Amino acid sequence: MTVAVPHSAGTRAARVPARPGGTGARADRLRGALGALGLALAFETVPRTGLVPAEHLPPLSTVLAALAGRAGDAALWRTVGTTLGGWALGLLLAVVAAVVAGLVIGSVGVLRTATASTIDFLRPIPSVVFIPLVVLLFGADLGATLFLVGYACFWLVLIQVLYGVRDVDPVARDAARSAGLGPVAQVRHLVWPTVLPYAVTGLRLAASVALVLTVTAGLVIGSPGLGREIWLAQAGADIPGMYALILVTGILGIGVNALVRLAERRLLHWHVSVRREVTPR
């Protein structure tokens, strides 16, 4: 324990987990703020020094000014709303379909065996493959976004639900069966609580993928949303505007992650992983 090794003090201390509210956490937060400040400063000064041409990467102040200009315009907020709407609806459709399909397929052995290879084949197909077809079917519309988001997210959640169903404790299942629980009651009281943490993991993965595809649909197909606005700004040589919109997209991404974390805590407040996170030892 107390072996004196030259460079051990610094590195050893570095790995002691920070206690919330302790000095370690405060130093971390300070460094985090410092890092953010440094990043902002670099974003401001690098274009000014001419290291990167300012017409390619305008300084932060110019981007923020462009953002402020757009923030007063209702169009920006409508665009953000459209993006969030496409994201949420596509995600919702995928999650509902995947949970239902996963519960059915996972509970019936024959279905599980029969569909395994098909799922394995369809899952890694990137949904952007369908863009040409989607353009023909939906045009540059919300339907295009929903299709791309839905396809990609469905498999992510489905796989997790299938893992979850497989994880149901066989002893508990036998107990439920001998207690005379019907199939519906079994799903409600036994399978669902086991599956939920897995489904939420799938939801977390799917939430960020959904945003990626919502933006992609705008960029490539031109369906309404932030992606299209970014593309239009770029095409119109409004470079500060483009960066401003990208900044908004990034912030939206952070917000979406936070939202999903919140949902995770709400849905799984009874689960060990969340309880441990909320009340650390």
Partner 1 sequence: MTRPVRVTRPARLVRMPRPPRWAVRPLAALGLPALLVTVWWLASAGSTNPFYPPLRTVLDAFGRVWLSERFVLDVVPSLRRFALGLLLAVVLGVAAGLLIGSSRVLRTLLEPALAFFRALPSPVLVPVLLVVVGVGDAMKVAVIAFGCLWPVLLNTVDGVRGTDEVQLDTARVAGLSRLATFRHLVLPAASPQIAAGLRQALGIGLILMVISEMVVSTDGLGHAVVRFQRSFALPEMWSGMIFLGILGFLLAKALEVVERRVLAWHHGLRRATGARP
Work out how close the CB of 272 gets to partner 1 at its nearest, in angstroms, rounded to a whole number.
14
Interaction between residue 132 and partner 1 (CB under 8 A): yes
Interaction between residue 41 and partner 1 (CB under 8 A): no
Alpha helices of the chain — where are they, by DSSP H?
A: 8-15, 23-49, 60-71, 74-107, 109-122, 131-138, 142-166, 170-178, 183-186, 192-216, 226-235, 239-267, 272-278
Contact in structure between 84 and 253 (CB atoms under 8 Å): no
Q: Of the listed pieces 61-69, 122-130, 194-202, 273-281, which binds partner 1 according to CB under 8 A?
A: 122-130
Q: Torsion angle of alpha carbons 153, 89, 266, 204, nearest 10°?
A: 20
What is the C-alpha separation between 276 and 7, in angstroms, rounded?
A: 33
Contact in structure between 86 and 225 (CB atoms under 8 Å): yes
Work out how close the CB of 99 gets to partner 1 at its nearest, in angstroms, rounded to a whole number.
21
Interaction between residue 22 and partner 1 (CB under 8 A): no
Q: How many CB atoms lie within 10 A of CB 259?
A: 13
Q: Which of 88, 246, 267, 274 binds partner 1 (CB under 8 A)?
A: 246
Q: How many CB atoms lie within 10 A of CB 215?
A: 24
Work out how close the CB of 33 gets to partner 1 at its nearest, in angstroms, rounded to a whole number.
8
- Quick one: 200 or 207, whose CB is closer to partner 1? 207
Q: Of the listed pieces 61-69, 91-99, 129-137, 264-272, which binds partner 1 according to CB under 8 A?
A: 129-137
57-64 contacts, C-beta under 8 A, 24 or more apart:
57/243, 58/239, 58/240, 58/243, 62/240, 63/240, 63/243, 63/244, 63/247, 64/244
- Give the per-residue contact string, 50-89, with partner 1 (x = CB under 8 A; - = no): --x---xx--------------------------------
Task: Indicate the SS3 state at residue 266.
Answer: helix
Q: Which of 180, 270, 278, 279 binds partner 1 (CB under 8 A)?
A: 180
- Give the per-residue contact string, 257-276, with partner 1 (x = CB under 8 A; - = no): x-------------------
Residues in contact with partner 1 by CB under 8 A are 3, 5, 8, 11, 14-15, 27-28, 31-36, 38-39, 52, 56-57, 113-118, 121, 123-126, 128-133, 135-137, 174, 177-178, 180, 182, 208, 211-212, 214-216, 219-220, 227, 230-231, 233-234, 239, 242-243, 246, 249-250, 253-254, 256-257
